[in-house]
Structure 1
Amino acid sequence: MSSPVAFDIQPQLATPIYRQVVEQVQRLVAGGQLSAGDELPSVRAVAERHAINPMTVSKAYSLLEAEGLLERRRGVGMVVAAQAQPAAAGTDRLALLQPALQALAQQAGQLGIPPEQVLQALARALQPDSKDRP
């Protein structure tokens, strides 16, 4: 079992909160950080921690269940489904980054930042000791 999931929910983003939860779980499964049988925090725990409506979290979990990534276990809550192995997640890991990369490219263009500077900043952010990493 992996360590408890801590979602990075950012209400100021244009992406709806339920979508943020869905995409984070998809990435964690595709990246192998969540594997079959790993428990997700309860709807109530996520809602309280992030001061959001429990129905938002419930919607995200239901969508993930419909996708086959999560399953409900009586008395336990939501867990990563057995068939949701990284290789069977059905999604290319880089494809999961595409929306964020497109947004980054658009924002850099709007700010007039040259691609080389963006790539350097991204390389720094990817360093293990970077303070910019989540």
Structure 2
Amino acid sequence: MAELFNTSAPIYLQLCDRIKNKIIRGEIGIGGQLPSVRDLAIDSGVNPNTVQRTYRELEEAGIVEKRRGQGTFVTENQEILQRMRNQLKQQHISGFVREMSEMGYSKSEMVEGLQNYFNKKEEKP
């Protein structure tokens, strides 16, 4: 089944983000194998060249490594994976703060809103 993509960003970058998120969530484990280029292209509804570019980007970042004749695997380098995790966290925080600022919220209102959100979440069993 073809996935939906945002028209404002290149598809290969969106695929990179999706793969990174799967790694962070543990859906693809450390040292785990990624789908073949052909399989991911079919599942995502994109051209195999797009998937190849995605894998190349991830490989250049050190997040995955190709093994000749075996496929593409998530790195086992914990430092690289932790750096990726921190970068994604910062991207999401930056996006949140930017959007809230554009809506006119102050820093203190954002912090208060987050505290209220987490307090309410802790109250629910």
Short-chain TM bin? 0.5 to 0.7
Task: Provide the rounded CA distance (Å) in 2 between the counterparts of 1:24 and 1:16.
Answer: 13
Gaps of 5+ in 2: none
DSSP 3-state at the match of 2:83: coil
Is the 8 Å Cα contact of residues 16 and 58 (structure 2) preserved in structure 1? yes
Alignment match, 1:65: 59
Q: Say which of 73, 90, 97 aligns to 2:89.
A: 97
Cα distance, 1:49–1:123 mapped onto 2, change above 3 Å: farther
Cα deviation digits, residues 72-118 of structure 1 (max 9, x gap): 2344321123xx3323436163332212211111112223454133x
Q: Which has the higher helix share?
A: 2
DSSP 3-state at the match of 1:12: coil
Structure (1 or 2) with the larger CA radius of gyration? 2
Task: Provide the rounded CA distance (Å) in 2 between the counterparts of 1:16 and 1:57.
Answer: 12
Q: Which amino acid aligns with 1:35?
A: I
Cα distance, 1:10–1:110 mapped onto 2, change above 3 Å: farther
Tell me the matched-pair count.
114
Q: Write the mapping of 1:18-57 to structure 2, written as runs, cut at 5 A.
A: 18-26=12-20, 29=23, 31=24, 33=26, 34-36=29-31, 38-57=32-51
Q: Say which of 78, 86, 90 aligns to 1:86.
A: 78
Cα distance, 1:92–1:53 mapped onto 2, change above 3 Å: closer
